[in-house]
Structure 1
């Protein structure tokens, strides 16, 4: 069996010793809210003080979650790597209603196919994803994210971890300043 040559760029920003891991489901409104705060958190904390790691938490009640997670990880294999993945996360977050079912079970997306979803993401992100989406063993990266979440007892999104410890009392509704204080107390 021939192995394909590809590499998924880790979804990590910053180089600091303090590790902030965020488990996100791309169409969850609370995950989108948390995702939109990460750049500001990195800016106010300093790239040399913290490392932010996005972990993808596919959830079956978000019906296209698996397809979208695969698109994000496929984007991370492109030349722009993690920035391409971030562009896909932004595109989905900015248009999340177009990737979600009404009440998680109905609406116009009942007629959408996975190819329709890929094309929508390509249109919104400006990235060509179909070839990367079709990488036969891309599922090893998807499985890694799933396994890592399970090993850490993560079941919902968003969930936050600081230095490997789940922070059950952190929320996407918290101000960035509160996150920063948790990460880098004065």
Structure 2
């Protein structure tokens, strides 16, 4: 499993030692990513966590920053901050952010400063169930460092996720890798039948 230790919360379903890997590249402000996230939560996770494919498939969330959306970087920094401050809440926060992604689209955030966007995301972290101490840590992780261009405390994690996408030729969201190879047939419109058919054809153990 290609995940540096700080990003282990991005394993959102399945066991770490499962032989098959489904990497799902999502952008928090992409409508199609939002649509696919619902299928991941309602169809894929039940099949992988205690279902037919328990122990056979693991599902990894991959942050896919799309820089043509002004707030994409800020939302992904927030997701990575939750992964550090409250790892058990990462998927719940991600689902909530994807559900409310319209609040972070280009026009709604066009008059907000980076600090205001991050404060708004802190409110979302609270809504996702982070404790007060976890929200405080979340905020601290998103404070700019003392150097003028040093980023925040999760910038290195963000760099890792972007480099991973680039080396795998992932350019858009959502995109899916199955066992390390792009599975271009996967669609955000897939439901129960399509996912079951996909796994039936792909799972070999």
**Which category of TM-score, normalised to the shorter sequence, fits these structures?**
0.7 to 0.9
Q: Deviation per CA, 1:115-155: give whole Å up to 9, x if none.
A: 22222222223141211223744211111111111111100
Q: Deviation per CA, 1:149-168: give whole Å up to 9, x if none.
A: 11111000000111011011
Cα distance change, pair 148–108 in 1 and its aligned pair in 2 (3 A): closer
Structure 1's unaligned 5+ residue stretches are: 1-5, 102-106
Structure 1 match to 2:149 = none
Q: 2:175 aligns with which of 144, 150, 159?
A: 159
Structure 1 match to 2:9 = 10
Q: Deviation per CA, 1:76-106: give whole Å up to 9, x if none.
A: 001x30x3222321222221111001xxxxx
Distance in 2 of aligned mates of 1:89 and 1:157: 15
Distance in 2 of aligned mates of 1:84 and 1:156: 26
Structure 2 match to 1:63 = 70
Are 1:133 and 2:181 counterparts? no
Structure 2 match to 1:96 = 101
Cα distance change, pair 14–142 in 1 and its aligned pair in 2 (3 A): same
Structure 2 match to 1:41 = 44
Three-state SS of the structure 2 residue aligned to 1:111 is coil
Check whether the contact 1:75–1:132 (CA below 8 A) recurs between aligned residues: no
Tell me how many residue pairs correspond in the alignment.
174
Structure having the larger proportion of residues in helix: 2
> RMSD across aligned C-alpha pairs, in angstroms?
2.0
Task: Using the TM superposition, give the Cα deviation of residue 8 of structure 1 relative to its aligned residue in structure 2, in angstroms.
Answer: 4.0
Structure 1 match to 2:114 = 114
Structure 1 match to 2:21 = 19
